[in-house]
């Protein structure tokens, strides 16, 4: 088991090498350089000599492979480099933003689990009734509404009209509510439908009839047998959602000025901030390897029939 | 018993929580929250364009400044004298102190200038400084050559006067002379400020201030509507009517010096013909463009904005005349022989591409495309990440960008950079001997009336030759709620907060 985990963790190294090389190559191939773009963004007309001097100092005039090798050498020494755009080290920028993303992800997941699970179960158990109809109707709306629109509506209602919650910023609980609810709105809607679907699938299986025939109560069978079995199929999907949330909810982070990694990544891409992009890719690789590992391990505990690493 | 003991604890916890949530409301004295759309990555005015942020936030000041009418007026220097073509003596106002209480004298100014010049090349070239000498409250600055824009150019925020010996980290806490001093700074997030009681111009009525960076236009607007901020610079143009209709809001707009310009590639054989350029200029309905874009812009029509002292009203500005545009095309030998709506010459259709990088220009350029189609010119639009490199490579027909044409309230820089033969930003390869001569004369003319007259002469030459097309001028917007008063709307957008600003 431990060997399996170590193997999976070490697997991040080749993944990272391949990913970083291709990201580096792609950003390098795209036109424009980070220094010029930074100044254009400020609305300034940069002096050519200044741009050239900065490019030279940042090593941007080196051939592609030299630039990549320099970056890789520094990373191996634990130095992720310096952002061209923020003028700070990549690590200091990311270490400020990752906690914000973690908080937003945590709050969103908590809301999703707390709301989507009971509603999904209710909807499945009451299949075909008005309760089911209402839940499905609302969740249909939820999955169809784009988050920038939900976010703007919430901002307008709770920030501008009722003045109950701050519109932007990150920091305390008050600031967290609107962005987390915006993200959770879509997630809850998605998972209500998902939980409902897999519950119904399980409820059609023979063992339900068997359990009921044995005299077990309906409630007990739903909670102890059907729910754990149906959650198994939801977990993979949920893990992918965790991964994408940890990668940053770009749109929500942008409209609420939530200083997370998603907004950072998009800004970095638009100004070709290679060191930040690479730092972000590293972060994403770590997330996905970790999330996938946790999912596999949780499968093993939830369903003992599944053996890890092909061993019996 | 246990539960009884819990009650005061719960109450205390609840009180702490509500106090924490009330946050800023408990701060003593008058507090103002402002928002900007962009921050420099540090608060060191001498690095890059970071001085624009410190200037906006009222932290740093320069020797001279530019007022609402683009006039150079005293700030830290209360008088100056030009000794000869290259020597300027400026007298530093008595009684000015840095945020640490230290007096500002000639020596402090000298050190500050030298620091800026050491930190970036731009500070050396923009004012062409050769040497600086200090004597009491006087500083004598010598330029490398006669340079008429010297005084205007030292108003650029990179020349902000800071206490070089203060021993603080200038990136997060510069010690300068403005009405506000920095108490906290988070990169790309917020600047916390407190008023400087010893400010030479009279301490501000506002005790503390927070400036947030909100780069999304609609979020900035909503933060203002929601009361999270009191005053903002720049707002989404589409939101302006909403704010204007709201009695609880005040909207200030001035025609700024940032102009959207179409520039031609003079290596392109079509565009090298002045009649083709004139046809394009006459084929664009400038009033209609303003209509398309809404209240955020004004008709430009000339190189410098109407609010500047460079004879806007007296100029023969670009204007819309579709018939004239068709005539110019005919004069250039173009006609629509195949009847497809676009003109040709020697079998080649007049097809030109406008390249731009700012996504918000699309609506305007689509309108231009449509207008020019009416006169027979086929325009294609192309959006790219950056026009700078394309400009250098010369592989473009027309570029569209927005440029601060009076960046320090002086016309010289724009003429020098974009229209002088062979200059570094002149990627269009424009060359006009008569204009070069005027630009040269301007550099060596120091009296204000003389400079204005030469600028008007240069503008006339550029308009006659249709050197570029000045489409629209972007307006500067400052929007505030009704609690804020004494707002000065400046046409140059790196001025924002000053010591006159008050809040109820």
Q: What is the pLDDT of residue B126?
A: 86
Buried b (16+ CB within 10 A) or exposed e, B50-72: bbbbbbbbbbbbbbbbbeeebeb
Assess A53–B contact: CB distance below 8 Å, yes or no: yes
| Chain B residues touching A86 at Cβ < 8 A | 41, 187-188
Q: Do A257 and B214 touch (CB under 8 A)?
A: yes
Chain A hits for B213, CB-CB cut-off 8 Å, are 257
Contact B41 A160 (CB under 8 A): no
* pLDDT computed for residue B11 by the predictor: 47
Measured between beta carbons, the chain B residues lying within 8 angstroms of A40 are 357, 386-388
CA dihedral B136, B142, B146, B148 (to 10 degrees): -40
- Beta-carbon contacts of A195 under 8 Å, excluding residues fewer than 6 positions away, are A116, A117, A119, A120, A121, A123, A124, A230, A231, A234
Name which of B125, B214, B387 is nearest A47 (Cβ-Cβ). Answer: B125
Q: Are B196 and B180 in contact (CB under 8 A)?
A: yes
Q: What is the arithmetic mean of pLDDT over A176-188?
A: 93
DSSP state of B214: -
- Asked if the Cβ–Cβ distance from B226 to A159 is below 8 Å, we say yes
Interchain pair B41, A86: CB under 8 A: yes
Question: Do residue B219 and residue A169 have CB atoms under 8 angstroms apart?
Answer: no
Range of weakest confidence among A58-62, A129-133, A202-206, B71-75: A58-62
CA distance B112 to B500: 26
Higher pLDDT, B125 or B174: B174
Check residues B14 and A184 and name the one with the higher pLDDT.
Answer: A184
**pLDDT, position B1:** 41
CB B415 within 8 Å of CB B441: no
Closest CA of chain B from A168, distance in Å: 7
Chain B closest-CA separation from residue A98 CA (Å): 15
Residues B107-141 have pLDDT tens digits of 999 999 999 999 888 888 889 999 999 999 999 99
Q: What is the mean pLDDT of residues B134-155?
A: 94
Chain A environment of B228 (Cβ under 8 Å): 159, 166-169
For residues B231-246, average pLDDT = 89
SS (H, E, C) chain A: CHHHHHHHHHCHHHHHHHHHHHHHHHHHHCCCCHHHHHHHHHCCCCCHHHHHHHHHHCCCCCCHHHHHHHHHHHHHCCCCCECCCCCCEHHHHHHHHHHHHHHHHHHHHHHHHHHHHHHHHHHHHCCCCHHHHHHHHHHHHHHHCCHHHHHHHHHHHHHHHCCCCCCCCCCCHHHHHHHHHHHHHHHHHHHHHHHHHHHHHHHCCHHHHHHHHCCCCHHHHHHHHHHHHHHHHHHHHHHHHHHHHHCCCHHHHHHCCCCCHHHHHHHHHHCCCHHHHHHHHHHHHHHHHHHHHHHHHHHHHHCCCCCHHHCC
Contacts of A56 in chain B (CB under 8 A): none
> pLDDT by residue (tens digit) across A89-107?
899 889 989 999 999 999 9
Q: What is the pLDDT of residue B18?
A: 45
In this complex, is the C-beta atom of A169 within 8 Å of any C-beta atom belonging to chain B?
yes
Burial of A101 per CB tally in 10 Å (0-12, 13-18, 19+): buried
* 8 Å CB contact of A167 and B228: yes
User: What confidence tens digit (pLDDT) does each residue in B270-328 have?
Assistant: 999 999 999 999 999 999 999 888 778 889 999 999 888 898 999 999 999 999 999 99
Q: How far is A257 from chain B (nearest CA, A)?
A: 7
Tens digit of each residue's pLDDT (9 = 90 or more) over B205-219: 999 999 999 988 888
Query: How far apart are alpha carbons A205 and A198 in whole angstroms?
Result: 11
Residue of chain A nearest B493, judged by CA positions: A43
Predicted local confidence at residue B286, as pLDDT: 95
What pLDDT score was predicted for residue B16? Answer: 45
What residues of B are in contact with residue A167 (Cβ under 8 Å)?
Answer: 219, 222-223, 226, 228
Residue B385 has its nearest CB partner, among A32, A43, A50, at A32
Helices B448-464 + B433-443 axis angle, to 10: 160
Q: What's the gap between Cα B358 and its chain centre?
A: 16
Q: Could you say which of A42, A46, A254 has the minimum Cβ distance to residue B38?
A: A42
pLDDT of residue B24: 43
The number of angstroms, rounded, from the C-alpha of B423 to the middle of its chain's C-alpha atoms is: 21
Task: Say if residues B182 and B59 touch (Cβ distance below 8 Å).
Answer: yes
B212 forms beta bridges with B35, B190
Compute the residue count for chain B: 504
In 10 A of CB B207, how many CB atoms?
A: 17
How much of chain B exceeds pLDDT 70, in percent? 95
**C-alpha distance from A107 to closest chain B C-alpha (Å):** 18
Query: Does residue A271 sit at the B interface (CB-CB below 8 Å)?
Result: no
Q: What is the mean pLDDT of residues A20-38?
A: 79
Query: Beta partners for B191?
Result: B185, B211
A116 and A188 Cβ atoms separated by less than 8 Å: yes
The answer to whether residue B17 scores a pLDDT higher than 50 is: no
Q: What is the mean pLDDT of residues B415-433?
A: 90
Do A276 and A20 touch, CB atoms closer than 8 A? no
Contact B117, B190 (CB under 8 A): no
Is pLDDT at B42 greater than 70 in this prediction? yes
Q: Does B388 touch chain A (CB under 8 A)?
A: yes
| Order of all β-strands in the sheet with B129-135 | B77-84, B87-92, B138-143, B129-135
Distance, in Å, from the CA atom of A164 to the CA atom of A174, rounded to the nearest integer, reads 9
Query: CA A168 to CA B217: how far, in whole Å?
Result: 12
Cβ of B226 under 8 Å from any chain A Cβ? yes
pLDDT in tens, B457-486: 999 999 999 999 999 998 889 999 999 999
A40 shares contact with chain B (CB less than 8 Å): yes
Contacts of B171 (CB under 8 A, 6+ apart): B42, B43, B44, B47
Q: Within the 457-496 window of chain B, which residues sit less than 8 Å (CB to CB) from chain A?
A: none
Helix or strand run (H / E) with residue B351: strand B351-356
Q: What pLDDT is attached to residue B9?
A: 55
Strands B468-481 and B231-233: antiparallel
Q: Is B112 helix (H, G, I), strand (E, B) or coil?
A: helix
Give B48 to chain A, closest Cα distance, Å: 9
Residue percentage of chain B with pLDDT more than 90: 70
Half-sphere exposure at residue A12, Cβ-oriented, CA atoms within 13 angstroms: 17
> What pLDDT shows up at residue A307?
64
Nearest to A270 by CA among A65, A51, A40, A73: A40
Cα A148 from chain centroid (whole Å)? 16
- Per-residue pLDDT reduced to its tens digit, A110-169: 999 999 999 999 999 898 999 999 999 999 988 899 888 999 999 999 988 888 888 887
Q: Kindly determine whether residue A167 and residue B357, on different chains, have CB atoms separated by under 8 Å.
A: no
Q: Which chain B residues have a beta carbon less than 8 Å from that of A174? A: 21
- SS3 per residue for B15-38: HHHHHHHHHHHHCCCCEEEEEECC
Between residues A276 and A47, the one the model is more confident about: A276
Q: Residue A24: left (phi > 0), alpha (psi -120 to 50), or beta? A: alpha
User: How far apart are alpha carbons A3 and A310 in whole angstroms?
Assistant: 13
Nearest CA in chain B to A255: B219
For B386, which of A32, A86, A172 is closest by C-beta distance?
A32
Interatomic CA distance for residues B14 and B291, integer angstroms:
55
Q: What's the pLDDT score for residue A208?
A: 81
Length of chain A: 312
CB of A47 within 8 Å of a chain B CB? The answer is yes
Q: What is the nearest CA distance from B398 to chain A, expressed in angstroms?
A: 18
Residue A310 confidence (pLDDT) above 70: no
What is the spatial distance between Cα B66 and Cα B454, in angstroms, rounded to a whole number? Answer: 20
A266–chain B nearest CA distance, Å:
13
The answer to whether the CB atoms of B385 and A48 lie below 8 A apart is no
| Separation CA A259–CA A262 (nearest Å) | 8
Residue in B closest to A170 by C-alpha: B189
Interface test with B, best of A149, A257, A260 (most B CBs within 10 A): A257
Confidence of residue B349 (pLDDT cuts 50, 70, 90): very high
Average pLDDT, chain B: 90
CB B135 within 8 A of CB B103: no
The whole-number average pLDDT for the span B136-155 is 94
Own/partner long-range contacts of A299-303 (Cβ < 8 Å, ≥24 apart): A299/A232, A299/A235, A302/A228, A302/A231, A302/A232, A302/A235, A303/A232
Per residue in B64-111, pLDDT (tens digit) is: 999 888 889 999 999 999 999 999 999 999 999 999 999 999 999 999
Q: Is B37 on the interface with A (CB under 8 A)?
A: no
Measure in Å the smallest separation between the Cα of A273 and chain B Cα atoms. Answer: 13
CA trace torsion B490, B493, B496, B500 (10° rounding):
-20
* B260 touches A at CB < 8 Å: no
What number of other Cβ atoms are within 10 A of residue B229's Cβ? Answer: 26
| Per-residue model confidence (pLDDT) at position B251 | 94
Is the pLDDT at B171 greater than 60? The verdict is yes
User: Is residue B10 predicted with pLDDT exceeding 70?
Assistant: no
Which alpha helices (H) appear in B177-306, and where do they start and end?
217-225, 240-245, 274-283, 286-293
Lowest-confidence range among A77-86, A296-305, B165-174? A296-305
Query: What's the CA gap between A276 and B80, in Å, rounded?
Result: 47
CB atoms A155 and B226 under 8 Å: yes
What is the distance in angstroms between the Cα of B41 and the nearest Cα belonging to chain A?
A: 6
Which among B38, B226, B258 has the least Cβ separation from residue A163?
B226
Q: Which residue of A has its CA nearest to B43?
A: A87
User: Tell me, what's the pLDDT at B22?
Assistant: 42
């Amino acid at each position: 088991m431990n060997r399996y985990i170590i193997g999976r963790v070490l697997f991040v190294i080749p993944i990272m090498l391949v990913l970083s090389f291709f990201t580096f190559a792609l950003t390098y191939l795209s036109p424009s350089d980070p220094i010029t773009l930074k100044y254009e963004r400020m609305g300034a007309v940069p002096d050519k000599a200044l741009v050239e001097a900065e490019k030279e100092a940042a090593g941007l005039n080196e051939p592609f492979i030299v630039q990549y090798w320099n970056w890789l050498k520094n990373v191996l020494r634990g130095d992720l480099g310096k952002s061209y755009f923020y003028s700070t080290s990549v690590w200091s920028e990311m270490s400020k933003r990752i906690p914000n993303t973690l908080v937003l992800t945590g709050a969103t997941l908590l809301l999703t689990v707390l709301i989507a699970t009971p509603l999904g179960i209710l909807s499945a158990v009451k299949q075909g009734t008005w309760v089911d109809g209402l839940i499905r109707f609302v969740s249909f709306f939820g999955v169809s509404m784009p988050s920038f629109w939900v976010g703007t509506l919430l901002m307008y209602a709770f920030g501008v009209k009722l003045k109950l919650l701050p519109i932007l910023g990150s920091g305390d609980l008050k600031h967290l509510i609107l962005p987390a609810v915006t993200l959770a709105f879509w997630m809850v809607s998605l998972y209500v439908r998902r939980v409902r679907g897999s519950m119904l699938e399980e409820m059609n299986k023979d063992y339900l009839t068997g359990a009921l025939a044995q005299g077990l109560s309906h409630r007990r069978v739903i909670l102890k047998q059907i729910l754990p079995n149906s959650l198994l199929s939801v977990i993979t999907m949920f893990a992918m959602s965790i991964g994408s949330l940890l990668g940053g909810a770009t749109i929500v982070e942008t409209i609420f000025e939530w200083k997370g990694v998603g907004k950072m990544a998009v800004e970095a891409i638009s100004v070709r901030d290679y060191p930040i992009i690479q730092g972000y890719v590293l972060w994403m690789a770590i997330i996905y390897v970790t999330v996938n590992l946790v999912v596999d391990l949780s499968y093993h505990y939830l369903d003992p029939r599944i053996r890890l690493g092909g061993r019996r | 018993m246990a539960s009884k003991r819990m009650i005061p604890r719960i109450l205390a916890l609840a009180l702490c929580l509500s106090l924490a949530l009330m946050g800023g409301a408990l701060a003593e004295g008058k507090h103002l929250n402002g928002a900007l759309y962009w921050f420099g990555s540090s608060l060191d005015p001498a690095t890059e364009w970071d001085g624009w942020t410190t200037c906006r936030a009222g932290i740093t000041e320069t020797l001279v400044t530019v007022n609402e009418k683009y006039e150079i007026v005293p700030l830290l220097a209360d008088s100056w004298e030009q000794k000869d073509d290259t020597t300027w003596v400026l007298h530093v106002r008595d009684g000015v102190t840095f945020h640490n209480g230290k007096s500002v004298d000639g020596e402090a100014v000298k050190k500050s200038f030298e620091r800026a010049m050491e930190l970036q090349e731009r500070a050396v070239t923009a004012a062409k400084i050769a040497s600086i000498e200090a004597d009491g409250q006087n500083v004598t600055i010598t330029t490398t050559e006669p340079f008429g824009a010297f005084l205007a150019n030292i108003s650029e925020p990179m020349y902000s006067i800071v206490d070089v010996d203060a021993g603080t980290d200038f990136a997060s806490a510069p010690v300068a002379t403005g009405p506000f001093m920095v108490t906290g700074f988070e990169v790309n997030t917020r600047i916390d400020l407190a008023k400087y009681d010893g400010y030479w111009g009279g301490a501000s009525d506002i005790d503390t201030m927070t400036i947030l960076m909100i780069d999304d236009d609609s979020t900035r607007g909503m933060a203002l509507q929601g009361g999270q901020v009191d005053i903002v610079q720049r707002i989404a143009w589409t939101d302006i009517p909403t704010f204007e209709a709201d009695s609880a809001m005040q909207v200030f707009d001035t025609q700024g010096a940032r102009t959207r310009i179409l520039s031609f590639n003079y290596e392109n054989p079509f565009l090298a013909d002045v009649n083709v350029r004139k046809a394009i200029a006459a084929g664009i309905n400038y009033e209609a463009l303003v209509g398309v874009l809404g209240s955020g812009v004004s008709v430009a029509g000339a190189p410098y904005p109407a609010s500047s002292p460079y004879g806007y009203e007296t100029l023969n500005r670009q204007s819309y005349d579709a018939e004239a545009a068709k005539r110019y095309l005919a004069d250039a030998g173009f006609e629509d022989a195949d009847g497809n709506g676009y003109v040709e010459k020697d079998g080649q259709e007049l097809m030109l591409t406008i390249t731009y990088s700012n996504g918000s220009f699309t609506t305007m350029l689509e309108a231009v495309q449509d207008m020019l189609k009416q006169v027979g010119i086929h325009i294609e639009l192309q959006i790219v990440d950056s026009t700078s490199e394309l400009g250098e490579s010369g592989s473009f027909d027309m570029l569209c960008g927005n440029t601060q044409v009076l960046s320090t309230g002086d016309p010289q820089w724009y003429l020098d950079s974009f229209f002088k033969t062979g200059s570094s930003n002149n990627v269009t390869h424009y060359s006009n001997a008569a204009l070069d001569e005027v630009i040269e004369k301007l550099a060596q003319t120091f009296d204000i009336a003389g400079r204005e007259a030469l600028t008007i002469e240069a503008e006339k030459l550029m308009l006659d030759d249709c050197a570029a097309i000045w489409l629209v001028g972007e307006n500067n917007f400052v929007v505030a709620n009704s609690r804020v008063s004494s707002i000065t709307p400046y046409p140059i957008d790196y001025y924002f907060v000053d010591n006159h600003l008050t809040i109820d």
